[in-house]
């Protein structure tokens, strides 16, 4: 594998924080990044070679992107699989993961069916379109249960908890479209595995434990505070999931650990994942560097944990949009083992992901101590 000058160029559909951190990781490998994103000055634009300002499904713009790069990838699930596929075939520029994977993942019902067909453990689910079908599904799966829009949901938007049959009409109206009902998993904890599919190798990062509030990820604690048997099972399930995925790249695999110590797959993201941001400081290779290596078909890096690590999202506060001005950053910068990540979004909006803070253990801190110290640190941060 010769090192070339100029090095290869990676075209990324999406230029949010994931594209930004991908470009930051690609730089040291000599890989340039060009992103396509509809928002001028998107978060990635400050750290990548160029940005094409266009919609994610603008086929002409995707073709223009392909003509400027050696490999295509995407950092958002909204990327248009048909456009990516057509452009990749017409130009001969490979796209990883394969756009077919996006298609598999796009519809939560198809995704769950594909997993279940392979014998991968998932919560019980039923397809539902009408209130009558929903009532039948509640009779079978019990209540409470979670009604999920099949497409378009993220950060819990599109999910409607259903407490009883009586709520069926309102719940169907609320999801407004084809949906699936899922048994309510009374989980012990949520965990995730960031898994990587390389050219002829795979890798998994240590299992992270994820704390959600209002269905939005707040914190990831690594290693997850599960038993060794559960950690092994999570890794094994993640490897089975990778078998199903077509194309190289990083996949974020969200899992439930049930009270009985069983692992169930919640959902898969065919891209670097918020619950893998800890890898930037906490692992020998970050998920973003792995994604660049994998997409290019280069050898993968080691995924060992450097030391216990916690990362916590900085979410927008208040009720309205305003220019993003954060105070209290000095506390993070002056804390040993703490790292600040600011995504460069101009506007803060309620619960918008604006950045994150990571802390790696520098002494013998336990994950519990690290978590509480990180919470204290992030509590110092505030938006004007």
State the residues that interact with ligand ADP by CB under 6 A.
123, 146, 148, 153-159, 182, 184-185, 190, 212, 215, 254, 266-267
- Tell me the C-alpha distance between 19 and 24, whole Å: 9
Shortest reach from residue 324's CB to ligand ADP, in Å: 23
Shortest reach from residue 183's CB to ligand ADP, in Å: 6
The nearer residue to ligand ADP, 63 or 349, going by C-beta atoms, is 349
The nearer residue to ligand ADP, 266 or 286, going by C-beta atoms, is 266
Question: Which residues, other chains included, contact 198 with Cβ-Cβ below 8 Å and sequence gap of 6+?
Answer: 248, 293, 294, 297, 298, 299, 300
Shortest reach from residue 200's CB to ligand ADP, in Å: 31
Shortest reach from residue 204's CB to ligand ADP, in Å: 20
Which class for 101: exposed (0-12), middle (13-18), buried (19 or more C-beta within 10 A)? Answer: buried
| Of 12, 73, 50, nearest in space to 270 by CA | 73
Shortest reach from residue 186's CB to ligand ADP, in Å: 8
Shortest reach from residue 217's CB to ligand ADP, in Å: 7
The nearer residue to ligand ADP, 49 or 273, going by C-beta atoms, is 273
Shortest reach from residue 28's CB to ligand ADP, in Å: 31
The nearer residue to ligand ADP, 108 or 197, going by C-beta atoms, is 108
The nearer residue to ligand ADP, 146 or 310, going by C-beta atoms, is 146
**Structure token pair of residue 261:** 């110590």
The nearer residue to ligand ADP, 155 or 239, going by C-beta atoms, is 155
Shortest reach from residue 216's CB to ligand ADP, in Å: 8
The nearer residue to ligand ADP, 214 or 363, going by C-beta atoms, is 214
- Tell me the C-alpha distance between 104 and 26, whole Å: 27
- Tell me the C-alpha distance between 22 and 37, whole Å: 14
The nearer residue to ligand ADP, 106 or 165, going by C-beta atoms, is 106
């Amino acid at each position: 594998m010769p090192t070339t000058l100029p090095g290869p160029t990676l075209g990324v559909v999406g230029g949010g924080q994931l594209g930004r951190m991908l470009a930051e990781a690609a730089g040291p490998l000599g890989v340039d990044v060009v992103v396509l994103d509809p928002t001028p000055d998107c978060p990635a634009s400050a750290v990548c070679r160029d940005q094409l300002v266009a919609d994610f499904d603008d086929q002409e713009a995707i073709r223009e992107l392909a003509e400027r790069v050696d490999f295509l990838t995407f950092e958002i699930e909204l990327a248009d699989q048909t456009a990516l596929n057509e452009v990749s075939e017409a130009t001969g520029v490979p796209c990883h993961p394969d756009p077919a994977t996006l298609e598999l993942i796009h519809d939560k019902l198809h995704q769950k069916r594909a997993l279940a067909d392979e014998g991968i453990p998932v919560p019980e689910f039923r397809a539902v379109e009408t209130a009558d079908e929903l009532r039948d599904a509640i009779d079978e799966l019990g209540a409470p249960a979670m009604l999920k829009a099949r497409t378009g949901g993220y950060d819990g938007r599109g999910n409607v908890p259903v407490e009883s049959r009586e709520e069926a009409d309102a719940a169907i109206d609320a999801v407004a479209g084809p949906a699936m009902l899922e048994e309510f998993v009374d989980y012990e904890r949520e965990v995730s595995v960031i898994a990587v599919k390389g050219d002829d190798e795979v890798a998994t990062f240590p299992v992270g434990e994820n704390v959600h509030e209002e269905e939005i990820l707040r914190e990831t604690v690594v290693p997850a505070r599960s038993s060794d048997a559960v950690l092994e099972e999570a890794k094994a399930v993640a490897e089975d999931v990778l078998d199903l995925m077509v194309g190289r790249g990083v996949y974020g695999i969200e899992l439930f650990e049930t009270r009985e110590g069983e692992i169930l797959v919640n959902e898969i993201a065919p891209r670097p994942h918020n619950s893998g941001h800890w890898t930037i400081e906490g692992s020998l290779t970050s998920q973003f560097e792995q994604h660049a290596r994998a997409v290019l078909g280069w050898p993968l890096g080691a995924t060992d944990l450097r030391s216990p690590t916690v990362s916590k999202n900085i979410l927008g506060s208040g009720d309205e949009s305003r220019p993003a001005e954060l105070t209290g950053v000095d506390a993070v910068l002056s804390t040993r083992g703490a790292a600040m990540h600011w995504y460069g979004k101009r506007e803060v909006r309620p619960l918008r992901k604006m950045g994150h803070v990571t802390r790696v253990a520098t002494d013998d801190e336990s994950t519990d101590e690290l978590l509480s110290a990180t919470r204290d640190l992030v509590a110092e941060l505030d938006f004007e």
